[in-house]
């Protein structure tokens, strides 16, 4: 005899409580876990102690038509975070009618290694960069970033990794685990930290009269959703809200590159979940940094049109197959 199993629509409170307890969810956290809410659960980015200094440094660079470089990591978190900040800064620069320039540098795994290398800083000095923003790296690179600061480059660190033996002396640090840091969520990924900087920048842009529609920043959560899963961060608290809204955004993304990655992975918009990110989207982004050039993944995520999207996403597809 064949049985047709059916799931109960309503579980008892005791079973639900036991499941939550098994996942380490306390009674006072149950509502936030089961019903993530943006207005209730997303923290003010200015709870980061040095966020005001970071905002001032960015707007100083934009108002004075300076050169800005974003240094990401070569994994999916660093690539997504660099893409998120690049997208935000380009929008602010355009709306400000500034002549400031922003570019992205992603290290080569073999040639540059992890983090901000001293020879990379030498390159930034030669290029006359004025503001360096690190994403998903930098906190353990005190010597390199001190050299950048000594050369007159303003430095902002957006990171979440373990702190180094000493911190950069003259850098603005946005890091949930920095000494005396009071930001409540200690489990943001690098892109999550970059998102907090972006939301603070957008808030200040609105105060300055720049035309950012309500909710513009939520369209950045697709980047956060990808990075939170690929960096295996806990899906609780603020992270759970970011993941929920990120998945909503990802399933109706307007980004040509992301749409092409999704299509080539054999997935359809509307059916993307955390497993899709972990086993289809994430590996394609990571393949670029592992056996190719991470900048290819960045160019895919920030592709301006379908032609660019197809070209770069196809490169990722080839790299992903080689990686397997």
Quick one: residue 181, left, alpha or beta (phi over 0 = left, psi -120 to 50 = alpha)? beta
Instruction: Please compute the mean of the pLDDT values over residues 60-67 and round it to a whole number.
Output: 99
Handedness of CA 24, 27, 33, 34 (dihedral sign): positive
pLDDT at 12: 52
> Residue 181 and residue 173: Cα distance in Å, rounded?
10
Per-residue pLDDT band at 5 (split at 50, 70, 90) = low
Residue 262: both structure tokens together: 């999704």
pLDDT at 26: 79
In this predicted structure, the answer to whether residue 218 has a pLDDT above a threshold of 90 is yes
Angle at 175 between CA 161 and CA 215, to 5 degrees: 115
CB 163 within 8 A of CB 204: no
In this predicted structure, the answer to whether residue 8 has a pLDDT above a threshold of 70 is no
Nearest to 151, CA basis, from 174, 170, 172: 170
pLDDT, the chain, mean: 94
Burial 169-206 (b: 16+ CB within 10 A, else e): eebbbbbbebeebebebebbbbbbbbbbbbbbbbbbbe
**Going from the N-terminus, what domains does the chain have, and what CATH number goes with each?**
45-213 (3.90.1640.30)
Q: What pTM, to 2 d.p., does this model score?
A: 0.93
Quick one: residue 232, left, alpha or beta (phi over 0 = left, psi -120 to 50 = alpha)? left
Share of the chain above pLDDT 70, in %: 96
CB 201 within 8 A of CB 48: no
Nearest to 128, CA basis, from 163, 144, 152, 103: 152
Handedness of CA 288, 291, 292, 293 (dihedral sign): positive
CB 236 within 8 A of CB 284: no
> Residue 71 and residue 112: Cα distance in Å, rounded?
12
Per-residue pLDDT band at 7 (split at 50, 70, 90) = low
pLDDT, tens only, 110-133: 898 899 999 999 999 999 999 999
> Residue 57 and residue 33: Cα distance in Å, rounded?
36
Residue 279: both structure tokens together: 């086993």
Instruction: Please compute the mean of the pLDDT values over residues 229-242 and round it to a whole number.
Output: 97
Query: SS3 for 46?
Result: helix
Nearest to 294, CA basis, from 124, 25, 153, 108: 108
pLDDT, tens only, 136-154: 999 999 999 999 999 999 9
Query: SS3 for 47?
Result: helix
> Residue 95 and residue 5: Cα distance in Å, rounded?
57
In this predicted structure, the answer to whether residue 43 has a pLDDT above a threshold of 90 is yes
CB 42 within 8 A of CB 246: no
Convert 194-217 into a string of H (helix), E (strand) and C (coil): HHHHHHHHHHHHHHCCCCCCCCHH
> Residue 62 and residue 57: Cα distance in Å, rounded?
9
Residue 254: both structure tokens together: 């307007």
Nearest to 164, CA basis, from 187, 183, 137: 137
């Amino acid at each position: 005899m064949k049985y047709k199993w059916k799931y109960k629509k309503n579980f008892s409170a005791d079973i639900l409580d036991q499941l939550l307890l098994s996942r380490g969810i306390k009674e006072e956290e149950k509502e936030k876990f089961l019903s993530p809410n943006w207005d209730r659960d997303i923290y003010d980015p200015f709870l980061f102690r040095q966020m005001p200094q970071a905002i001032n440094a960015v707007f100083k660079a934009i108002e004075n038509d300076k050169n800005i470089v974003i240094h990401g990591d070569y994994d999916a978190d660093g690539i997504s975070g660099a893409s998120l900040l690049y997208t935000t800064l380009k929008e602010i620069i355009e709306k400000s009618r500034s002549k400031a320039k922003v570019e992205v540098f992603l290290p080569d795994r073999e040639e540059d290694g992890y983090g901000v290398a001293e020879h990379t800083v030498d390159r930034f000095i030669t290029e006359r960069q004025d503001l360096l923003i690190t994403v998903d790296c930098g906190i353990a690179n005190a010597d390199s970033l001190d050299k950048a600061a000594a050369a007159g480059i303003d430095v902002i660190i957006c990171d979440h990794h373990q702190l180094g033996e000493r911190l950069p002396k003259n850098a603005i640090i946005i890091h949930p685990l920095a000494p005396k840091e009071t930001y409540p969520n200690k489990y943001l990924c690098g892109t999550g930290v970059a998102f907090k900087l972006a939301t603070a920048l957008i808030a200040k842009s609105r105060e300055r009269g720049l035309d950012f529609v309500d909710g513009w920043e939520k369209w950045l959560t697709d980047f956060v959703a990808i990075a939170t899963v690929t960096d295996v961060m806990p899906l609780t608290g603020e992270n759970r809200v970011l993941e929920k809204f990120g998945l909503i955004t990802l399933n109706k993304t307007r980004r040509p590159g992301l749409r092409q990655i999704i299509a080539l992975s054999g997935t359809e918009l509307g059916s993307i979940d955390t497993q899709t990110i972990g086993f289809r989207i994430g590996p394609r982004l990571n393949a670029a940094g592992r056996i190719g050039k991470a900048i290819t993944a960045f160019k895919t995520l920030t592709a301006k049109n379908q032609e660019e999207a197809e070209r770069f996403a196809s490169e990722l597809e080839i790299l992903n197959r080689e990686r397997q």
